[in-house]
Amino acid sequence: MFSFIVRRIGSSIPTMLILILISFALMRLAPGSPFSSDRGLPPEVLANLELKYGLNLPWFEQLFVYLKGIIFDFDFGPSFKYTDKSVNDILAQGFPVTLTYGIWSFVAAVAVGLPLGIVAAVRHNTKLDYAAVGFSIGAQVLPNFVMAPILVIIFTLWLNWLPGGGWNGGQWQYVVMPILALSTSYMASIARITRSSMLEVLHANFIRTAKAKGVPMRNIILRHALKPALLPVISYLGPAFVYMITGSVIIDIYFSTGGMGQFFVDAALNRDYSLLMGVTIVFGVMTIVFNTLVDITYAWLDPKIRL
Amino acid sequence: MTEIIKPIFSVDDLRISFATHDGEVEAVKGVSFSINPGECVGIVGESGSGKSQTFMAAMGLLAKNGRAKGDIIFQGHHLLSLSTAELNRVRGKNMSMIFQDPLTSLTPHLTILEQMREVSSLHMDLSREETDRLCAQWLDRVRIAESKRRLNQYPHELSGGMRQRVMIAMSMLCQPSLLIADEPTTALDVTVQAEILDLMDELKRESGTAIALITHDMGVMARMCDRLHVMRRGEYVEEGLTEDIFYNPQHDYTKMLIDSMPRIDSPDRQHNKNQMPIDESVSGADFLKVDDVKVHFDVTVGGGLWPKKLPLKAVDGVSFELRKGETLGIVGESGCGKSTLARSVLQLIPPSAGSVCWLGKPLNGLKKEELKDKRKDLQIVFQDPLASLDPRMTIADSIMEPLQTFSSLSRSEMKEEVLKMMDRVGLDRNMQNRYPHELSGGQNQRVGIARAMIVKPKLVICDEAVSALDVSVQAQIIQLLMDLQQEFQLSILFISHDLAVVREVSHRIMVLYLGRVIELAKSEDLYANPVHPYTQQLISAVPVPDPKIERERKAIKIPGELPSPMNPDAQLKFLPSKLKTEKKGYLPKLLEHSPGHFVAEHDALDQLLAQD
pLDDT digits 0-9 by tens, B566-583: 777 777 778 877 777 766
- Measured distance CA(B513)–CA(B572) in Å, rounded: 11
Does the residue A24 lie in any domain? Answer: no
When pLDDT is averaged across residues B515-542 and rounded to a whole number, the result is 89
**Residue B145 — pLDDT band, cuts 50, 70, 90?**
confident
Confidence of residue B605 (pLDDT cuts 50, 70, 90): confident
Residues B89-108, mean pLDDT to the nearest whole number: 90
Q: Does B173 touch chain A (CB under 8 A)?
A: no
B559: contact with A, CB 8 A cutoff: no
What is the pLDDT at residue B162?
86
Label residue B435 exposed, middle or buried (CB < 10 Å: 0-12, 13-18, 19+). Answer: middle
Sequence-distant (≥ 6) Cβ neighbours of residue A224 within 8 angstroms: A206, A207, A210, A215, B107, B110
Mutate to test the interface with A, among B98, B109, B123, B180 (most CBs of A within 10 A): B109
Question: Which are the contacts of B162, defined by CB distance < 8 A and separation ≥ 6?
Answer: B144, B150, B561
φ/ψ bin of B302: left (φ > 0), alpha (ψ from -120 to 50), beta (otherwise): left
B91 and B59 in contact (C-beta within 8 Å)?
Answer: yes
DSSP state of B121: H
- Which residues face B414 on adjacent strands? none
Top pLDDT among B282 and B217 is at B217
Chain A residue numbers with beta carbons less than 8 Å from the beta carbon of B97 are 212
Burial A241-260 (b: 16+ CB within 10 A, else e): bbbbbbbbbbbbbbbebbbb
How many percent of chain B have pLDDT more than 70? 95
CA distance A161 to A163: 7
Measured between alpha carbons, how far is B387 from A148 in angstroms, rounded to an integer? Answer: 48
Judge whether A160 lies within some domain: yes
Tell me which of A12-16, A266-270, B149-153, B276-280 is least confident: B276-280
pLDDT tens figures, A196-209: 999 999 999 999 99
Interface of B with A in 113-152 (CB under 8 A): 118-119, 122-123
The answer to whether the Cβ–Cβ distance between A304 and B170 falls below 8 Å is no
* CA A232 and chain centroid, separation: 18
- Flag whether A169 is in a domain: yes
Per-position b or e across A70-87, b if 16+ CB within 10 A of its CB: beeeeebbbbbbbeeebb
- CA-closest candidate to residue B96, choices B104, B83, B105, B107: B105
**Above 80 in pLDDT, residue A306?**
no
Please report, for the domain that includes residue A226, its CATH number.
1.10.3720.10
Answer yes or no: is A13 within a domain: no
Domain boundaries, chain B: 34-44+92-260, 288-377+457-610
Check: CB of residue B27 under 8 Å from CB of residue B69. no
- Going by the DSSP 8-state scheme, the letter that residue A224 receives in this structure is I
* Greater model confidence, A59 or B502: B502
Count of C-beta atoms within a 10 Å radius of residue B594: 11
Q: Which fold has domain B34-44+92-260?
A: Rossmann fold (3.40.50)
Alpha helices in B407-506 (DSSP H): 411-424, 441-453, 471-488, 499-505
> How many Å is the Cα radius of gyration of chain A?
24
- Give the pLDDT band (50/70/90) at residue A187: very high
Chain centroid offset of residue B279 CA = 33
Interface residue B95 vs chain A (CB under 8 A):
no
Q: Are B94 and B86 in contact (CB under 8 A)?
A: no
Q: How far apart are CA B102 and CA B385, in angstroms?
A: 23
Write out the residue range of the structural domain in which residue A111 sits. 87-301
The verdict on a CB contact (< 8 Å) between A209 and B93 is no
In one-letter notation, the amino acid at residue A215 is V
**Predicted local distance difference test score (pLDDT) of residue B303:** 59
Q: Which residue has the higher pLDDT, A187 or B24?
A: A187
Predicted confidence at residue B2, as pLDDT, reads 47
Q: Mean pLDDT lowest for which of B36-40, B463-467, B507-511, B562-566? A: B562-566
pLDDT in tens, A120-136: 999 988 899 999 999 98
B451 has pLDDT over 60: yes
DSSP B341-394: HHHHHTTSS--SEEEEEETTEE-TT--HHHHHHHHTTEEEE-S-TTTTS-TTS-
Residue B105 in contact with partner chain A when CB distance is under 8 A:
yes
pLDDT of residue B12 exceeding 50, the answer is yes
Q: Residue B271's pLDDT band (boundaries 50, 70, 90)?
A: very low
The reply to whether A238 falls in a domain is yes
pLDDT at B304: 62
Q: Are strands B210-215 and B227-232 parallel, antiparallel or unpaired?
A: unpaired
Q: Is the dihedral of CA B398, B404, B406, B411 positive or negative?
A: positive
Model pLDDT, residue B563 = 72
Is B2:B11 a contact under the CB 8 Å cutoff? no
Q: What's the CATH code, domain B288-377+457-610?
A: 3.40.50.300
List residues in chain A touching B: CB distance below 8 A: 3-4, 6-7, 10, 124, 204-206, 208-217, 223-224, 227-228, 301-304, 306-307
What's the pLDDT band for A112 if we cut at 50, 70, 90?
Answer: very high
Q: Do A4 and B303 touch (CB under 8 A)?
A: yes
In angstroms, the Cα distances linking A261 to A255, B35, B249 are 12, 71, 80
Q: What is the mean pLDDT of residues B513-520?
A: 90
Rg of chain B on CA atoms, in Å: 26
Residue A34 pLDDT > 70: no
Q: Which of residues 49-68 of B touch A (CB under 8 A)?
A: 59-61, 64
Mean pLDDT of chain B: 86
Q: How far apart are the first and last CA of chain A?
A: 7
Mean pLDDT of the region B531-553: 86
State yes or no: pLDDT of B270 exceeds 50. Answer: no
Is residue A29 very low, low, confident or very high in pLDDT (cuts 50, 70, 90)?
A: confident
**Mean per-residue pLDDT for B329-347?**
88
Q: Give counts: helices (H), strands (E), chain B.
A: 22, 22
| pLDDT in the model for residue B302 | 61
Question: Quick check: A133 and A116 in contact, CB under 8 A?
Answer: no
Residue A227, domain member (yes or no):
yes
Q: Higher pLDDT residue, B576 or A156? A: A156
DSSP tag of B7 = P
Q: Which of B84, B92, B156 sits opposite A212 (nearest CB)?
A: B92
pLDDT classification of B268: cutoffs 50, 70, 90? low
Query: What pLDDT is stored for residue A307 in this prediction?
Result: 55
Longest CA–CA separation in chain B, Å: 81
With cut-offs at 50, 70 and 90, classify the pLDDT of residue B388.
confident
Of A209, A302, A306, the CB nearest to B99: A209
Residues from chain A contacting residue B92 (CB–CB below 8 Å)? 212-215
Q: What percent of chain B has pLDDT over 90?
A: 29
**CA–CA distance, B328 with B326 (Å, rounded to integer):** 6
Alpha carbon distance B35, A156 (integer Å): 73
d(CA B215, CA B100): 9
d(CA A165, CA A174): 7
Cα torsion angle, A250, A255, A259, A262, sign = positive
| A219 Cα distance to chain centroid | 33
B234 touches chain A (CB under 8 A): no
- CB-defined contacts A:B, below 8 A: 87
Query: By CA distance, what is A218's nearest residue in B?
Result: B85
pLDDT-based confidence at residue A226 (cuts at 50, 70, 90)? very high
Give the number of residues written for chain A: 307
Is 80 exceeded by the pLDDT of residue B422?
A: yes
Q: Do domains B34-44+92-260 and B288-377+457-610 have the same CATH topology?
A: yes
> What is the edge-to-edge ordering of all strands in the sheet holding B178-182?
B95-98, B178-182, B210-215, B40-44, B227-232, B235-241
Strands B9-20 and B66-74: antiparallel
How many distinct structural domains can be found in chain A?
A: 1
Residues B187-219: tens digit of each pLDDT: 788 888 888 888 888 888 888 899 999 988 888
Taking each helix axis as running N to C, give the angle between helix B128-141 and helix B160-172, from 0 to 180 degrees, rounded to the nearest 10. Answer: 130
